[in-house]
């Protein structure tokens, strides 16, 4: 049958062929013809050290290029978080421009993180007219420090009315500028915040920076109280492990759902999934490794310290992890990493999928947000020490984190609430939506012994006297890991494991930092009160740590987070279980959350409300697009293939009956009946989804109500269509099936 181009009722054009299987065969041939692609680097000639950071206007570069006095002043501004004087900004801008132009940059852009969850850039050339038909290249301090993009199309959640649509971007000197390369040129990217003229944050970076500030203030206060007067700064450190899928582009282009929604809306589970456990840490195929090395090369130039690479659990799933950095830079670098991975994948004939659940029935992807605190000398505050002094700091900070996760567990869960992550959380592949902390047996015994005030027989140690006794050594080996915990202590840091793979880590870290700042504040205040009451520091510590642990230990859980028993137990303990985004997001609107963010000046009430609105709107939009795409593919690709097969079966039965009489064709008639019933069901379910999609009240001003409709009505209708379609996939003649199957996409590359 000939190719037919159909335009459906929503105006989308799809290439459709009754012999859909031919497209799949052609895609497979394409894959067969692919070769690993070489990258531009030869490490036998150039070492990683020589490449690393060459495209970054780093502190080191600034120190070499800037006049000494200017650099000193810049450093002072960075330390104190104050703005640079205009004439000094001019000097920095000029040095930055010369440096970038010398490396081939023709354009610059303020690079920011609007609340779309992506990054935004609008390029401007350095070019200005000299007035005599000539051209000069210019970049002033004013242009470096502030930009005024016409940014009216970015989500603002109601903060900014259209008449004052122009927000501004402001230079974030704490994250270095960098040069992005592409085939025909280079662009200088300057990390910036994005705010409305009223000062309201319209991005993900501004609240993150404010939360970092809050931790710094409260962290220093506590350290000084503990007698560590040398510390001048407390920073949050983050190392995000990033999971992703690689799919050959030939298959990807035949999947309109992957192209438009980032995930497959149809597809039966492959006969071989991940149950053989043969992919995790398996040897990396040449084509994939070539991609990884090429992407790493690009990232090295950008100063992104990628370190680890390996095959993940699901087929065609992989992971990359960097060396940890301060959380602002780690967040910027993670965005850069995703960008570079997507670009490089295409160069290698792949598409890189960051969606949390691209393939139903196989593991989804997450982003393990490793998090800790450090002082300005680089000492990790969650490193259990070998001296009573170090232990003191460790135990107090640990206690603060435990309280934070217990008191604000619901908020923490909300920080990872998206339509995409809903497919993954609690699905026996990722932690459930109940926030709890895994400490491991040893540390749990220590905490228990502090709470009960008794010696710990299990590890044969004496009664823990904070500030006086040392801790028994804590194990840090992998065997002690609990992969089911959403928030696990892994030796000297916490790993927040429920973060979604596609989301910016800016928001979860903003929340994490703020709730920890609150606990550091709470603990310092209590210690100060005890000391005022006449207690000695160590005695005060012992009693405050004991009290705070006792008040918050319900959040500690070392067992299997996937089990039903835990869900019951968590309910008995009163821990919130916000199963999906719609249950979670209202937490943002609660009085507790508002006063938390206001207290630490991280988000005003308006800014918080705008985020709540944007997240709900984004939820609605995601599911709306999925619904339309389900209708589109179901109607124009799957139904035609199934009808064709149904017709062939019917014709074959009639012809056979005509040819020979007396044959029992009941089994064949049964085949036909099973197909025909599902075809009818598919049509009915598509009609239902269509009807429900039209029931959505686009004018609904109650966003939560609007989003709830998507969750409770539209989503189940999408799933109902999928269910029948996936059954048909397992019945219909393979040569007619138009969509690349999971067994192909996940295994042929
Ligand atoms: P594993 O979790 O397998 O033990 P690593 O210890 O190397 O592996 O850490 C995994 C991730 O955690 C890496 O990205 C690493 O940089 C990061 N990480 C390590 N220490 C810290 C820390 N103190 N703060 C934040 N992230 C950290
Ligand atoms: Mg991992």
* 100-132 pLDDT, tens digit each: 999 999 999 999 999 988 999 999 999 987 778
* pLDDT score of 27: 96
Q: If you measure from the C-alpha of residue 508 to the centroid of ligand 1, how many angstroms do you get, rounded to a whole number?
A: 17
Which of 239, 305, 475 maximizes ligand 1 atoms within 8 Å of its Cβ, making it the mutation to test the pocket? 239
Ligand 1 neighbourhood includes 489 CB (under 6 angstroms): no
Q: How far apart are the first and last CA of the chain?
A: 29
pLDDT at 329 > cutoff 50: yes
Q: Which ligand has the shortest distance to the CA of 373?
A: 1
196 and 87 share one domain:
yes
**Closest ligand to residue 322's CA:** 1
Which CATH number characterizes residue 186's domain? Answer: 3.10.20.70
Residue with tokens 């460790």: 394
Helix axes 666-695, 639-659, angle to 10 degrees: 160
**Atom of ligand 1 at shortest distance to CA of 241?**
14
Residue 259 belongs to domain with CATH number: 3.30.590.10
**pLDDT tops 50 at residue 1:** no
Which tokens is 693 given?
């999609």
Judge if 625 and 741 occupy the same domain. yes
Minimum-distance ligand to the CA of 329? 1
Nearest-atom index, ligand 1, CA of 372: 24
Expressed in angstroms and rounded, the spacing between residue 370 Cα and the centre of ligand 1 is: 6
Taking alpha carbons only, the member of 463, 498, 659, 679 closest to residue 584 is 498
Ligand 1 geometric centre to CA of 308 (Å): 10
- Give the atom of ligand 1 at the shortest distance from the alpha carbon of 476: 4
Closest atom of ligand 1 relative to the 324 alpha carbon: 16
Q: What is the pLDDT averaged over residues 406-430? A: 92
Ligand 1 contact, 239 CB (< 6 A): yes
Got the DSSP string for 478-535? Answer: GGG--TT-SEEE-SSSEEETT-BSSS-SHHHHHHHHHHHHHHHHHHHHHHHHHHHTT-
Is 536 inside a domain boundary? yes
pLDDT score at 16: 46
Is 644 within 8 Å of 701 (Cβ atoms)? no
Q: State whether 374 and 493 are in the same domain.
A: yes
313 CA → ligand 2 middle, Å: 9
Q: Atom 3, ligand 1: which residue's CA is nearest?
A: 478
Q: Name the β-bridge partners of 186.
A: 105, 181
Q: Which ligand is nearest to the CA of 317?
A: 2
- At residue 284, the 3 state secondary structure works out as coil
Whether 43 is in a domain gets the answer: no
Instruction: Tell whether 607 is covered by a domain.
Output: no
CA–centroid distance for 241 within its chain: 10
Based on the domain organization, do 115 and 4 belong to the same domain? no
Same domain? For 23 and 8 the reply is yes
Q: pLDDT tens-digit profile of 612-667?
A: 999 999 999 999 999 999 999 999 999 999 999 999 999 999 999 999 999 999 99
Q: Which of 215, 243, 324 gets mutated to test ligand 1 (max ligand atoms within 8 A of its CB)? A: 324
Instruction: Return the ligand 1 atom nearest residue 382 CA.
Output: 23
**CA separation for the pair 413, 372 (Å, rounded):** 18
CB-CB contact of 96 with 57 (8 Å): yes
Domain boundary among 330, 365, 400: 365
CA 263 to centroid of ligand 2, rounded, Å = 21
pLDDT at 208: 98
Residues 375 and 284 in one domain: no
pLDDT (0 to 100) of residue 161: 61
Question: Does 73 lie in the same domain as 53?
Answer: yes
Handedness of CA 203, 209, 210, 212 (dihedral sign): positive
pLDDT tens-digit series, residues 701-721: 899 999 999 999 999 999 999
Domain count, the chain: 5
Q: Which ligand places an atom closest to the C-alpha of 323?
A: 1
Residue 14 has pLDDT above 60, yes or no: no
pLDDT in tens, 577-613: 999 999 999 999 999 999 999 999 999 999 999 999 9
pLDDT band at 272 (very low <50, low <70, confident <90, very high): confident
Specify whether 254 is located in the same domain as 223.
Answer: no
Pairing of strands 185-195, 105-112: parallel
Looking up tokens 């010369």 gives 98
Confidence band of 80 (pLDDT split at 50, 70, 90): confident
Residue 2 confidence (pLDDT): 39
Range of the domain at 666: 618-745
Geometric angle at alpha carbon 285, from 284 and 286, rounded to 5°: 115
Nearest Cα to Cα of residue 365 among 272, 293, 263? 263
- Ligand 1 atom nearest to CA at 321: 14
Residue 569 and residue 632 in one domain: no
The answer to whether the CB of 237 is under 6 A from ligand 1 is: yes
Q: Name the band, by pLDDT with cuts 50, 70 and 90, for residue 287.
A: very high
Q: Is 519 in the pocket of ligand 1 (CB under 6 A)?
A: no
Contacts of 379 (CB under 8 A, 6+ apart): none
pLDDT digits (tens, 9 = 90+) for 523-568: 999 999 999 999 999 999 999 999 999 999 999 999 999 999 999 9
Q: How many CB atoms are closer than 10 A to CB 507?
A: 24
Interatomic CA distance for residues 322 and 333, integer angstroms: 9
State if residue 371 touches ligand 1 by the CB under 6 angstroms criterion. Answer: yes
Pairing assessment for the beta strands 487-489 and 437-438 based on DSSP bridges: parallel
| Residues 124-170 pLDDT 10s | 999 987 778 788 899 999 999 999 877 678 888 877 665 566 788 99
Query: Is 127 a pocket residue for ligand 1 (Cβ < 6 Å)?
Result: no
Report DSSP state, residue 147. Answer: E
CA–CA separation, 370 and 59 (whole Å):
25
CATH of the domain at 709: 1.20.120.1560
For residue 164, the model assigns a pLDDT of 62
């Amino acid at each position: 049958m000939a190719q037919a181009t159909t335009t459906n009722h929503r105006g989308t054009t799809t290439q459709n062929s009754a012999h859909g299987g031919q497209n799949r065969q052609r895609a497979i041939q394409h894959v067969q013809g692919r070769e690993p692609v070489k990258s531009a680097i030869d490490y036998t000639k150039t070492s990683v050290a020589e490449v690393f950071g060459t495209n970054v206007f780093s502190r080191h570069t600034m120190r070499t290029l800037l006049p000494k006095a200017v650099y000193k002043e810049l450093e002072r501004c960075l330390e104190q978080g104050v703005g640079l004087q205009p004439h000094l900004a001019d000097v920095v801008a000029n040095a930055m421009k010369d440096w970038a132009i010398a490396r081939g940059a023709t354009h610059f852009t303020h690079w920011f993180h609007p609340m779309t969850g992506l990054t935004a850039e609008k390029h401007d050339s350095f070019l200005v007219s000299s007035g005599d038909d000539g051209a000069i290249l210019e970049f002033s301090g004013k242009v470096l420090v502030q930009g005024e993009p016409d940014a009216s199309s970015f989500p603002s959640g109601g903060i900014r009315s259209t008449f004052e649509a122009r927000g501004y971007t402001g230079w974030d000197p704490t994250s270095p500028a960098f040069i992005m390369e592409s085939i025909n040129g280079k662009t200088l990217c300057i990390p910036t915040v994005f705010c409305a003229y009223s000062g309201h944050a319209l991005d993900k970076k501004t609240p993150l920076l404010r939360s970092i500030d809050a931790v710094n203030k409260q962290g220093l206060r506590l350290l000084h109280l503990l007698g560590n007067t040398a510390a001048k700064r407390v920073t949050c450190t983050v190392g995000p492990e990033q999971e992703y899928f690689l799919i050959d582009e030939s298959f990807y282009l035949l999947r309109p759902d992957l192209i438009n929604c980032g995930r497959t809306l149809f597809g039966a589970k492959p006969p071989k999934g991940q149950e053989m456990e043969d992919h995790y840490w398996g040897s990396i195929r040449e084509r994939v490794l070539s991609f990884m090395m090429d992407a790493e090369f690009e990232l090295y130039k950008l100063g992104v310290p990628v370190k680890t690479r390996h095959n993940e659990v699901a087929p065609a799933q992989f992971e990359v992890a960097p060396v940890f950095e301060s959380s602002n830079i780690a967040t910027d670098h993670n965005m850069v990493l995703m960008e570079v991975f997507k670009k490089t994948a295409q160069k290698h004939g792949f598409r890189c999928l960051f969606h949390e659940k691209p393939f139903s029935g196989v593991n989804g992807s997450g982003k393990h947000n490793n998090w800790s605190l450090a002082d300005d000398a680089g000492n990790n505050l969650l490193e259990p020490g070998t001296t009573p002094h170090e232990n003191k700091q460790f135990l107090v900070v640990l206690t603060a984190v435990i309280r934070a996760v217990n008191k604000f567990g619901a908020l923490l869960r909300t920080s990872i609430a998206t339509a995409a992550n809903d497919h993954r959380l609690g699905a026996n592949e990722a932690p459930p939506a109940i926030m709890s902390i895994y400490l491991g047996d040893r540390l749990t015994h220590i905490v228990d012994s502090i709470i009960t005030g008794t010696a710990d027989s299990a590890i044969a140690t004496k009664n823990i006297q904070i500030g006086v006794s040392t801790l028994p050594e804590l194990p840090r080996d992998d065997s002690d890991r609990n992969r089911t915990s959403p928030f696990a202590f892994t030796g000297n840091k916490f790993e927040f494991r429920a973060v979604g793979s596609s989301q910016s880590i800016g928001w979860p870290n903003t929340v994490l930092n703020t709730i920890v700042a609150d606990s550091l504040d709470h603990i310092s205040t209590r210690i100060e009160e005890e000391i005022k009451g006449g207690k000695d520091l160590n005695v005060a510590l012992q009693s405050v740590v004991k009290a705070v642990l006792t008040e918050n230990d319900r959040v500690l859980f070392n067992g299997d987070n996937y089990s039903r028993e835990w869900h019951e137990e968590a309910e008995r303990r009163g821990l919130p279980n916000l199963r999906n985004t719609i249950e979670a997001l209202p937490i943002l609107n609660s009085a507790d959350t508002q006063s938390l963010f206001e207290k630490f000046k991280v988000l005003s009430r308006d800014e918080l409300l705008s985020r709540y609105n944007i997240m709900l709107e984004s939820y609605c939009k995601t599911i709306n697009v999925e619904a339309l795409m389900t209708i589109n593919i179901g109607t124009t690709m799957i139904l035609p293939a199934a009808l064709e097969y149904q017709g062939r079966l019917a014709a074959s039965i009639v012809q056979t009956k005509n040819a020979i009489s007396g044959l029992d064709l009941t089994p064949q008639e049964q085949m036909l009946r099973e197909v025909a019933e599902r075809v009818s069901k598919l049509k009915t379910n598509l009609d239902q989804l269509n009807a429900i999609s039209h029931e959505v009240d686009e004018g609904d001003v109650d966003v939560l109500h609007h989003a709830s409709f998507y969750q409770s009505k539209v989503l189940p209708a999408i799933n109902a269509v999928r269910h029948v379609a996936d059954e048909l996939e397992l019945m219909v003649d393979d040569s007619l099936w138009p969509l690349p199957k999971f067994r192909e996409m996940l295994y042929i590359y």
